Amino acid sequence: MSDVGAVLGRLAGRTVQQAFVVDDIVTAKASMERSFGPQQWFEFESTAPWVWQGREVRCDLQMAFGQSGGAMIELIQPLAGEGVHFEFLRDRGPGAHHLGFFLAPDGDLDEQIELAAADGFPPVMQGALGGARFCYLDTVAQLGVYIEIISDPQGMMFKMMPWWRPS
């Protein structure tokens, strides 16, 4: 069996995001506000293409980002298309989907993907939004969630949420 510790060791100290796939983002936001405390959200609909299982797919998502302590909370409601978000919701229902790890601004996402694949955790789905790139690694069997590696060299995600401050 592959050792997820090697992947986590390379990303240590960079966990800043806990993401949940939901079937109703309005209800999920209210629940998160009661349980985790985010009071501000940045919301948008993403219609950017993704690569899933080696092919480009449509994966339209309603997304909301909030803050709880030093953690970014991400809510994802699949809207149309296909991909890991739809598959997860269909097979497991709403719940914790991935842990997000931001690379340093000079970090090399492609290198991290290659290293993770060599450790037995191939990329499952990849996408981009503006200058940011994202890759989900297949760690569900080991962790119960995916690992998402995030490359955001221009800090686009933090610019969208000027109130967000990691601890």
Q: What is the CATH number of the domain that holds 27?
A: 3.10.180.10
Determine the pLDDT at residue 87.
95
Read out DSSP for the chain? ---HHHHHHHHTT-EEEEEEE-S-HHHHHHHHHHHT-----EEEEE---EEETTEEE-EEEEEEEEEETTEEEEEEEEEEE-SHHHHHHHHH-SEEEEEEEEPPTT--HHHHHHHHHHTT--EEEEEEETTEEEEEE--HHHHSSEEEEEE-TT-HHHHH-TT----
Instruction: Tell me whether residue 96 is in a domain.
Output: yes
Determine the pLDDT at residue 30.
94
Q: How many Å separate Cα 4 from the centre of its chain?
A: 17
- 54-58, 120-124, 163-167: which has the minimum mean pLDDT? 163-167
Q: What is the average pLDDT across 137-161?
A: 89
Instruction: Tell me whether residue 145 is in a domain.
Output: yes
CA distance 82 to 41: 25
The residue segments making up the domain with residue 38 are 4-160
Confidence bin at 15 (pLDDT 50/70/90): low
Q: pLDDT tens across 72-84, in order? A: 899 999 999 999 9
* Average pLDDT of the residues of the chain: 90
Two structure tokens written together for 77: 């409601």
Instruction: Tell me whether residue 57 is in a domain.
Output: yes
Position 40 pLDDT exceeds 70: yes
Q: How many domains does the chain have?
A: 1
Instruction: Tell me whether residue 165 is in a domain.
Output: no
Higher pLDDT, 70 or 40: 40
Position 48 pLDDT exceeds 70: yes
Determine the pLDDT at residue 164.
64
Determine the pLDDT at residue 119.
93
Q: Give backbone dihedrals phi and psi of 16, rounded to 5 degrees, phi first.
A: -135, 0
Determine the pLDDT at residue 149.
96
Instruction: Tell me whether residue 167 is in a domain.
Output: no
Higher pLDDT, 52 or 13: 52
Closest alpha carbon to 53 in 94, 9, 84:
84
